[in-house]
Structure 1
Amino acid sequence: MTGGRIRVGISGWRYARWRGTFYPPGLPQRRELEYAASRFGSVEINGSFYSLQRPSSYARWAAETPEDFVFAVKGGRYITHMLKLVGVETALANFFASGVLALGSKLGPVLWQLPPVLRADPGRLTQFFALLPRTTTAAAQLAARHDAKVPDDRALTTALGDRPIRHSLEVRHGSYTDSAVLDLLRRHDIGVVVADTAGKWPLLEEVTSDFVHVRLHGAEELYVSGYTPDALDHWAGRCAAWADAGCDVFVYFDNDVKVHAPFDALALMDRLGLSAPGPVGVEADEGEQAADPLRRRR
């Protein structure tokens, strides 16, 4: 069996506290993604959870990253938290029309994070999974059914080649630990997210697809605490085992409040023998500020 590939990165990239600590002093905001992409092999886009983005934004993010870079994209909370996966056909069309396909070959897992109040309902899940496009061509066909929330002049309804799309589900209710629910995810080829949430929500380490999506929100305090050397050793071992079993592994640190995330990610990469893509040679450019759709809490 061929081993899977491990990518380690961060959840979002624009945080004021990181400036002058992880990001070099004077680095302009417009270069922050470029800098992060020189250190990590992947980043999660979180602004897409809060609002529909634009094709121009996705295209710019793709252009600012190396050829082998991959983005995970977080699905909209309107679908997961407001509609709670029911009657979401048009909302899904709007999401994919908003520019996701502009990432091209850099589109990685699409993450669907469920609210803590949403219990596992096999019927609801089955209907939702059936609507999810599994290729970029299918996503483009779905995107063509968008409504006025995505105006025609802001919609992207064509795919840059036909590629598979992976989907992952982050759950926050104990009912999803049922083996029957996990079997349902396996049948529909949906990856269950391995979410370390300081014990607040379930930690599921079941493999339900050909990839594993790991989100490390903090071992002791949600979004705040860092990971000790022993904890990082543990996660390095888990990631290596999943990859040895043939799964691709995507790991994102989300403990950003005290700037632990980027440094924990680098420490995990070191344990796994993963090298950084390389420096981008950015120069300080003080005073440049950019619109920031990605900073809000996950």
Structure 2
Amino acid sequence: MPKEPAAKTTKPSNIRVGIGGWTYAPWRGTFYPSDLTQSRELEYASRNLTSIEINGTFYGLQKPASYEKWYQETPDDFVFSLKAPRYATNRKVLAEARETIERFFGSGVLLLKQKLGPVNWQFAPTKKFDKEDFEAFLKLLPASIEGQKLRHAIEVRNDTFKTPEFIALARKYKVAVVLAGDSEYPQIADITAPFVYARIMGTTDKQAKGYSAKALDAWAERARQLAAGTTPDDLETCADAPAKTAARDVYLYVISGFKERNPAAAMALIKRL
């Protein structure tokens, strides 16, 4: 018989920590018990983590039945974030993405109900900042659909976005700028929305938990500060801080790096929080 999923450690309700996806062969026997059937991996992961970023949505539309299944297999307080389809962001003229965006939200996404967290719109490193181009795209992102409020994050990977003008635009439309930690991508830690979306990418095979204890302590403290509405001094920003600070939700995902260690790093952060 497969082992029962371990109970989650109590954590601050406004900070969620997770990984990207849940199907990865090297996690079997390391993160997942060796006798756990593959069909129960999401069930297990969702009881050890507090959120998961679904990556498959970046590559293609998922079936409504899949969203229903994911909803049923996870605890009531679990939250998924979704990577938006690359067909919406990997285009020369962003204003032409309306049809792709509408098709995505009509594909069954809303079947996640209260477990639907932020949608991450990731742009290629070659995409440069153009105010008119990006504002046209942000206008296409729905604030709600069928009474269900939506949250949007934008992940930009070109240095041209490191400008106060971009931060002002993100704040105008209340979208979060993804905080890229421990990576080759530009770090933009400015608070621009009622929530924070962070992706940390520095796990290594040299650490049993992906990160050193010192590094895990540092990210846990940064998450606490971000949840309180303040930006940690050791993170890079592009503009002045907001005039007012307020508590906000934080979604932090351990992504990329040495992927085999990502669940261990995420669970270590949850324990610290």
Q: TM-score normalized by structure 2?
A: 0.84
Map of 2:117 onto structure 1: 108
Equivalences for residues 53-64 of structure 1 within 5 A: 53-64=62-73
Identity value in percent: 43
Does the Cα contact within 8 Å between 2:203 and 2:257 map onto a contact in 1? no
Map of 2:268 onto structure 1: 267
| Aligned CA-pair RMSD | 1.8
Q: Secondary structure at the match of 2:43?
A: helix
Pick aligned residue for 2:186 from 202, 205, 212:
202
Rounded Cα–Cα distance in structure 1 between residues aligned with 2:171 and 2:187: 17
Map of 1:242 onto structure 2: 226
Letter in 2 for 1:87: E
Pick aligned residue for 2:148 from 136, 158, 163:
163
Matched, 1:31 2:40: yes
Q: Secondary structure at the match of 1:10?
A: strand
Rounded Cα–Cα distance in structure 2 between residues aligned with 1:97 and 1:186: 26
Q: Secondary structure at the match of 2:95?
A: coil
Map of 1:6 onto structure 2: 15
Q: CA deviation at 1:40?
A: 1.0
Does the Cα contact within 8 Å between 1:226 and 1:255 map onto a contact in 2? no
Matched, 1:17 2:42: no
Task: Give the unaligned 5+ runs of structure 2.
Answer: 1-11, 230-246
Q: CA deviation at 1:123?
A: 0.7
Letter in 1 for 2:253: Y
Rounded Cα–Cα distance in structure 2 between residues aligned with 1:266 and 1:84: 40
Does the Cα contact within 8 Å between 1:4 and 1:243 map onto a contact in 2? no
Rounded Cα–Cα distance in structure 2 between residues aligned with 1:22 and 1:126: 41
Equivalences for residues 124-203 of structure 1 within 5 A: 124-137=133-146, 162-198=147-183, 200-203=184-187
Map of 1:71 onto structure 2: 80
Q: Secondary structure at the match of 1:38?
A: coil
Q: CA deviation at 1:242?
A: 1.3
Letter in 1 for 2:117: G
Letter in 1 for 2:189: E
Q: Secondary structure at the match of 2:81?
A: strand
Q: CA deviation at 1:271?
A: 1.1
Task: Give the unaligned 5+ runs of structure 1.
Answer: 138-161, 273-298
Which structure has the higher relative contact order (CA within 8 Å, separation 6+)?
A: 1
Q: TM-score normalized by structure 1?
A: 0.78
Does the Cα contact within 8 Å between 1:196 and 1:219 map onto a contact in 2? no
Structure 2 vs 1, CA of residues 220 and 81 (structure 1 numbering), >3 Å: closer, same or farther? farther
Moved over 6 A (4+): none
Q: CA deviation at 1:204?
A: 1.2
Q: Secondary structure at the match of 2:52?
A: strand
Equivalences for residues 39-50 of structure 1 within 5 A: 39-50=48-59
Question: Cα deviations across residues 105-163 of structure 1 (Å, max 9, x unaligned)?
Answer: 110000001100000111111111111111132xxxxxxxxxxxxxxxxxxxxxxxx22
Aligned residues: 242
